[in-house]
Structure 1
Amino acid sequence: MASSHSPGSAMRDPFVVLHVGDLHLTGSGQANVRDFAAILDEIAGLAPRGAFDFVYLPGDHAEDGTAAQYAILEGALNRHPDLPVRLIAGDHDRQYGTMIDFDATFARIAGSPRGGTHRARHNHLPRPRAPGSVTQYYYAETIGGVRCLFLDMVSAGYGEKGFGLDFRLGPCQLDWLGRKLKKAAAAGLPCAVFAHTYPDDLRVPEERIALAGLIRGYGVRLVEMGHTHYNELAHDGRTLYAAARSVGQNEDGSVGYAVAAIDGAVTSWRFKPLDRALPFVMITSPADRRLATAALDSTDGRIEVRALVLSKAAQSAWRCYVRVDDGPAQPMKPDGPRAVHAWIDWPEGARRLSVEVTDGTATVGATMPNTDIDVIEPVRRSFVPPPAPQRPGSDTFRLPAWPVKGVRGDQLGPNRAGRKW
């Protein structure tokens, strides 16, 4: 793993996305409405401003895709008008074969400065029943030094209640994606794709193969998804596919939001439950062995450790420490407004790296400050990336349970092993 950061070099911020899972809003006063509001309140209260790049909403915002349900979404977002948001469509947003109400919401949110000022696209597509003009909601934007590509997997399909899964991209979007990835590669920009579901869920086999091939061929760093309703990580040696727990139809545990980061050559991910108090810490470098794309980079047995901290307290109140296995705690220092870092000795045979943070805050009745710990097993110096999986773009290479990251590994959701919502 090549590090671009060394003692005395300029500080850098990791690219950070906060992913709030499928909302499935139905009516006011429901638990998911309260949970969504509480999640946004926590995110909006993070200090300093700019602790993350944007909040990602991965589709299935409205259970039935109606104007009244989108009004709940917009009402919650409007209470935090400065919060940057990026959203895409899910299959439930086209539940009854139309996206008229989603279109209006997309124009108000994605079309605004807080949403990146993006517009819908009108393409003439070979529709499943007959060719026709189709509105699609895909777009690209460079954010925090990362080329972000937001896909629309639903507009080109049937999208009718009772039809089942019908995810399609259409030739216009596939061509657009290929051109964007090629251009980003030429510019040396890392890429992240934001989609509603795995490429393997596309109905047309040729599209399935094409999308997975583009992602792997161009070395996309992160594919962030909803739809599954559970936390899941699948890594193919080049790309991290990450799905986050639903807020509205949840069997997976406490609601909350996922935190994904790209920091230099490393991609990392961890879930933040709403019922666990801040602060929150996530190691962003070095890479864990399960998410690595290259061997550990060390100089004279030393490595740089970097971590993202989310907190309501000012950075001056953070107290961060790194530990190798069961060794002594070593202090970490701020490295930009989001991160802390330290250069440490990494001896042969070391296995575990942990970072602990306190920020002086405490919950009501607590006698000790709130604390959080993240733990990884750094990749080895002899690491060799695995060969391409037999089904790229699928969940067949998903990781087993990883509790510290919030991954249970049991796929409790309506599209695999859970209830049929």
Structure 2
Amino acid sequence: MAIVLLFTGGALAIASVRIGFLLIVRPSEVLWVNHFLPEWAKIKDVDLDLPQSRKQIENAIYHQGQIAGKVLPLAKTADQSFLLPIFQKRPNCQSDCQKIVELRAYNLSQSSEVSRQKHYEMVARLKIEGPEESFVIAPLVNITNETQGANIALPLNHIESFQGNDLPAGKWFYLRGQRNSGNHSVNYGHIIYYNLKRKHLKVMQSWTSPSGDNPKWQQVTGDNTKELVVNQTVGFEPRVRVYQAKSFNSINNPIRLRLIALKPPTFKDRGYQKALLIARKGLWTPAFKWLQFIRKQHKGKISADSIAQIDLIRLHSELSTKQANINWASPSQQVQVYLIDGSWEKALQVFEKSPSNSKEIVSLLKADRGRLWDRVKVALQVNPNRPQVQTWGALILAAKFGDSRAKSWLKTQKRLNKNNFARLEILLARIEDRTQ
């Protein structure tokens, strides 16, 4: 108890010193303490001065060399309370030449000094800087030839409010910018939360979407509250990041966004752990089918965190299966979506029925940067006796390194029966013809 009291006292002393310093040099950053002070003791920030009309606010911003953006309501109407984005011109710019540098929250003033014209007082402000380029293009790096980006902040030039029911308490917004990277138009930005009760603005989460989608709230886990979903799919590789809004022990930020992750597994069952292993390697549909069986077996024993992991895999499986069910004009694309979905036999049938397109399929296998090979390895790790998977492992190795490497690898696997080996020989010969 003495140690706890000592550390608590030390933390309070440090916090008090910091607040005292900010009260002197940057009082606008600690305006939240006004909620705990009597009227006579409230902090007056030099930037706030007296309540101002909308026109006066815009003029003051203009004289600071900045631009007032379009207001977004924080209450039923913007006449009562609003969020104001502040823009600044970017030097040496060809397009989207304004970036958001600050957000301010204003409330209708109740002061008796206010004239007939509505006046507002600033109750919160937040400096804005965009996410780093390396973060924005990270989802592309491992799947495409995109090189790692620099540690420079990218500009944000749009702000939107989230609409809809069943959102977590408070007001939610997203800031957005866009960057072209190869064939991809990447959307990126921040998730902004405004605590209505404490009048506090906060950046909750940075986000990036190589598919060019904006974040959205949707029902994923079946909770009463929706989850925040960011689509990071690249090409045929489904990838979705899902965040749950969880209660957090903080006065100004009673909510935090927690990513639903697949590591570590949250249920102590060997089958469950293996299912999550193959899901992490991209075999979403086989993993989800396995987890459905496990969930029935352990009905009532699986925690909410485990259900969230299962629902995340289900969401990926739906995306993977949806594209696998499309009849693609290109056999190589059809093979690719089947392999991504873990439909090994269907992929083999397409290869067998497309001798004239063998070169195209061989090019697909040769270009694999490890995503397909990882699926083969993990599928055989979980179940070594899978002739269709063994066949695809040999075909990938033959396309990339030659026939002898493929046959050498096969010797380390469980033997194929005569029918499966004869089938493989025909496909290996087709690959050898196309790689010479």
What is the TM-score of this pair, normalised by structure 1? 0.26
Structure with greater strand share of residues? 1
Structure with greater helix share of residues? 2
What is the TM-score of this pair, normalised by structure 2? 0.26
- Structure having the higher Rg: 2
